[in-house]
Amino acid sequence: MPPSTSILRAHRPFVVRYPGQWVCPSCLTQSRRLHTGTIETSHLQPATAPPPTKQPRPAKSTPKVGGREGTDSKWEVTVGLEIHAQLNAPRKLFSYAATSFNAPPNTRVAPFDASIPGIQPKLNIPTIVPAIRAAVAFDCRINRRSTFDRKHYFYKDQPNGYQITQFYHPFASDGKIVLNELDGLDPSEVVEIGIKQVQMEQDTAKSIFQPSTEDTPARTLVDLNRAGSALVEIITTPSLKSSKHAAACLKKIQSILKASTAAIDGMEKGGVRCDVNVSIQEKGLPGLGRRVEIKNLNSVKAVQESIEAEIKRQIGVRESGGEIEGETRGWDAVRGESRKLRSKEGEVDYRYKPDAELPPLIIDESLVSHIKSTLPPLPDQILLELMNEPFALTLKDARTMVDLDDGARVHYYKAIYEDLSARQDVKQGSKHLGKLIGNWTLHELGGRLASSFIGWLDNQVTAAQMADLLSNLQNGTLTAGNAKRVLDHLVTFNDPTVRVSGLIEEYDLATRSLSEEDDEGLVRIAESIISQYPEKAEQVRSGKKPNLKNFFIGGLMKATGGKVDVQACKKVIEKMFSA
């Protein structure tokens, strides 16, 4: 039973309501966005992950050690995740120091963060806003009253000797996330994963080991900048049945955290960290088996591989007649194996106790409903929207678009779509507008930016320029090839003031118009080409080699410098041979 908090509440709890001056979700998110730096493309889809030299990608060969897990084997696998995410909050959880991840060491430290004796915690109320956004996005019940507890352990990156967390009465519980086809599961599979609780807690400091030099012995340096920053810990129920589901779940949790703007940095930047619990049990037997915890996993790959290896290890132990020990293990990503950190007996007893001086946190329903009504669309909603009319993107393109640049690519895409579909001169229907824009935004523009090493934040090609470009493509002014040439220029100039029409004019890229007058000009050029190759023309006329028409069409295009649309050339050549 959780202990009652101190009876001596010589003070009233924090009651947090909306509206309040401090609630400014957009400010909170913007301030961090600016600092996220250049995008890392290595983990993204091929569209923007350009190998500078066009070598064939080596076939990905992840050894499927756990391929049989939970399906045809006699073992039932159960996995639970504990995910820590840095909240998108401008200040730390219990001090006024600014949240920062790049500042020089020990420059974002308030006295409380440095555990100065006599200094007390003071809840920074705005930090709970992104936490509530996350919990709402996970479909949690927001508990009106929650309390803070201390979790004790000694470590040099833990200046107070304890972490303030919400062990007994978290602010949110009983949520869920649904995994389905959109998350890479088989179309028939829909899995619901329970979220046991979401709690707020403090981050630790960073300790940096420094090997010995000529002047100094080996030592550990402590940087308190991160100490006391606000985290949410998200604990799933032990209900994941495979490493694949665990990986999908982790990815989904990350994308929901990002979409809800609760957390900005993902695992690749250390903004999200994950511990997993793995147990196996013979099918048909009650219980889940003894759980083994693997700590501090820092990528989805590490999570998936460590679970696979752990399942294999546990099955090995059980099948050779051994018992699984409750223990904590660490993952060595390089060697692809885990090693024991401590056994159950050596387990740390965290001596959880209610914090005696922090009042309970009361979250008023008005704030929760405000956050619910202003929650940005979540990844599944965005995906489905992009996959449906009028956009009609494939799942793969929609997924890529959502995953890129914290969703900025989706906004860009929609801006182009809105601009284009409002124009009178855009032919609807000849080619699907949504798909066309998708292709040009992701692959044509994305590929060019990537190969020029331009990050998305530095992309100067505006949505309006893209709309101009695609409008000219749609109405036939530009051939596809010339449209790509114009885009090359736009990316190279990297200048939002450059006009597409100006480029077309300057480089004389416009397709010959198909008026009668120009038609005659084309006919004249075609006549001269045909007369240069009488034998080939004869073979076409006689019907022996009708495909040679393409030779003449190509010749005509060449002669007109690519300015004449292929359809127009074809029409002229057809006309001449049918005459």
By the criterion CB under 8 A, which residues form the site for another protein?
1, 3-4, 6-12, 111, 114-123, 150, 152, 154-156, 159-162, 220, 222, 346, 349, 351-353, 356-359
Considering the complex, what minimum distance in angstroms separates the CB of residue 158 from another protein? 9
3-state class (DSSP) for residue 473: helix
Considering the complex, what minimum distance in angstroms separates the CB of residue 344 from another protein? 12
Please state, in angstroms and rounded to a whole number, the distance separating the CA atoms of residues 114 and 499: 55
Q: What are phi and psi of 139, to 5 degrees?
A: 65, 35
Asked whether 201 and 186 are in contact (CB, 8 A), the reply is no
Considering the complex, what minimum distance in angstroms separates the CB of residue 164 from another protein? 11
Please state, in angstroms and rounded to a whole number, the distance separating the CA atoms of residues 110 and 227: 10
Rounded to 10 degrees, the C-alpha dihedral 552/558/564/568 comes to: 10
514 burial level (CB within 10 Å; 0-12, 13-18, 19+): middle
Considering the complex, what minimum distance in angstroms separates the CB of residue 361 from another protein? 11
Please state, in angstroms and rounded to a whole number, the distance separating the CA atoms of residues 234 and 176: 11
Choice between 66 and 159, CB closer to another protein: 159
Considering the complex, what minimum distance in angstroms separates the CB of residue 23 from another protein? 20
Choice between 345 and 425, CB closer to another protein: 345
Strand pairing category for 327-332 and 292-297: parallel
Considering the complex, what minimum distance in angstroms separates the CB of residue 229 from another protein? 18
Considering the complex, what minimum distance in angstroms separates the CB of residue 451 from another protein? 47
Choice between 123 and 461, CB closer to another protein: 123
Please state, in angstroms and rounded to a whole number, the distance separating the CA atoms of residues 575 and 579: 6
Considering the complex, what minimum distance in angstroms separates the CB of residue 111 from another protein? 7
Considering the complex, what minimum distance in angstroms separates the CB of residue 323 from another protein? 21
Q: What are phi and psi of 420, to 5 degrees?
A: -65, -45
Whole-angstrom CA distances from 194 to 174, 240, 255, 387, 470 are: 7, 9, 17, 27, 45
Instruction: Taking the CA atoms of 62, 66, 71 and 73 in sequence, report the sign of the dihedral they define.
Output: positive
Please state, in angstroms and rounded to a whole number, the distance separating the CA atoms of residues 72 and 332: 28
Please state, in angstroms and rounded to a whole number, the distance separating the CA atoms of residues 18 and 364: 8
Roughly what angle, to the nearest 10 degrees, separates helices 128-137 and 25-33?
100
CA atoms within 13 A on the CB side of 423: 19
Quick one: DSSP state of residue 375?
P
Q: What are phi and psi of 56, to 5 degrees?
A: -65, 135
DSSP 135-188: HHHTTPEEPSEE--EEEE---TT-TTSEEEE-SSS-SEEEEEEEE-GGGT--TT
Choice between 150 and 169, CB closer to another protein: 150
Quick one: DSSP state of residue 271?
S
Choice between 14 and 533, CB closer to another protein: 14
Choice between 355 and 419, CB closer to another protein: 355
Considering the complex, what minimum distance in angstroms separates the CB of residue 454 from another protein? 45
Considering the complex, what minimum distance in angstroms separates the CB of residue 1 from another protein? 7
Amino acid at position 99, single letter: T
Choice between 10 and 422, CB closer to another protein: 10
Choice between 211 and 543, CB closer to another protein: 211
Place of tokens 């890529």: 400
Choice between 3 and 287, CB closer to another protein: 3
Choice between 121 and 555, CB closer to another protein: 121
Choice between 207 and 394, CB closer to another protein: 207
Choice between 8 and 34, CB closer to another protein: 8
Asked whether 153 and 162 are in contact (CB, 8 A), the reply is yes
Terminal C-alpha separation, the chain: 95
CA geometry: angle 328, 330, 335, nearest 5 deg: 145
Considering the complex, what minimum distance in angstroms separates the CB of residue 157 from another protein? 9
Choice between 153 and 453, CB closer to another protein: 153
Find the length of the chain: 579
Considering the complex, what minimum distance in angstroms separates the CB of residue 325 from another protein? 15
Please state, in angstroms and rounded to a whole number, the distance separating the CA atoms of residues 516 and 557: 18
Please state, in angstroms and rounded to a whole number, the distance separating the CA atoms of residues 275 and 281: 20
